[in-house]
Chains A and B, each alone.
Chain A
């Protein structure tokens, strides 16, 4: 079957050649080139930090610090991965630091999370027409933001990196300091939890 990640061709596509050229210019000290990269990615990075921190002020600070750190450490970027993937790793670390500061007692993303092997989904119903057709874009964005905010941080962060930022399992594991099996286990639980939460909004016959 076609992987669930397959996107519309060309959507949000950025030319890798253009990105590499911008990074090379920025590495040579061209601040304007770096600003172009900032303009390109600031919304996505802000979404990432907002989803992780669930706090607008922290998300702004984490985004800003991520871009500054990226600029300061650009010389260390080897080009083995996409610049965006590298930037995401930095932003995740900044966002997690903010999250930990606010929740020193109850947030630990690298602890073992119990995942029940026997977890069985509930509320299995037909969703009927495409949710994207049933809700206006900003309304849908609000629903998605709300339900992902309800996930516990360890699940939220893995889902965010794998299914929204489209990092590979290995990249996600590296960015979060987790094992690959832990990423896979959390991703499955996160997807099932989100499916169940979205069922409230998308099941067939629900009044609009």
Chain B
């Protein structure tokens, strides 16, 4: 296992999709490679920050316009 292989398998490793032996090889490499350890840590944080982010709040104006238009169309009798 080298740094290039860690980068190639990074997504699958973070998503828990690797088989046990490959996962263990990466973990052994991470124990000794500071750069790869930081890369895994900060990439994992990147995903988690986005994953946990709340949707940007809609402004009242945008929200009410979107909603009014929808309600108007939804309640329109179907021809």
- Interface of A with B (CB < 8 Å)? 1-5, 7-8, 11, 31, 34-35, 38-39, 42-44, 46-47, 50, 56, 60, 63-64, 67-68, 71, 117-121, 124-127, 130-132, 137, 140-141, 144-145, 148, 159, 163-164, 166, 184, 187-188, 191-192, 194-195, 198-199, 202
Query: 21 pairs across A/B with beta carbons < 8 Å?
Result: A1-B23, A4-B15, A5-B47, A5-B48, A34-B74, A47-B55, A68-B70, A71-B74, A119-B7, A121-B39, A124-B38, A127-B45, A144-B50, A163-B51, A164-B53, A184-B11, A187-B11, A188-B8, A195-B39, A195-B43, A202-B42
Q: Closest A-chain residue to B48, C-beta based?
A: A4
Cβ–Cβ contact B43 & A191, under 8 A:
yes
Contact B51 A164, beta carbon cutoff 8 Å? yes
Nearest-CB distance from A29 to chain B (Å)? 9
Which of B10, B35, B58 is in CB contact (< 8 Å) with A191?
Answer: B10
Q: How far is the CB of B56 from chain A (nearest CB, A)?
A: 5
Known: A1-B16, A188-B10. A68 touches B62 (CB 8 A): no
Complex: how many Å from CA A185 to CA B47? Answer: 16
Chain A residue contacts of B39, Cβ below 8 A: 121, 124, 195
A46, B35: Cα distance in complex, Å:
37
Nearest CB in chain A: distance from B25 CB, A: 13
Residues 4-39 of B at the A interface (beta carbon under 8 Å): 4, 7-8, 10-16, 23, 27, 35, 38-39
Pick the residue among B27, B50, B66 that contacts A194 (CB under 8 A): B50
A7-B52, A125-B38 are known contacts. Are A35 and B74 too (CB-CB below 8 A)?
yes
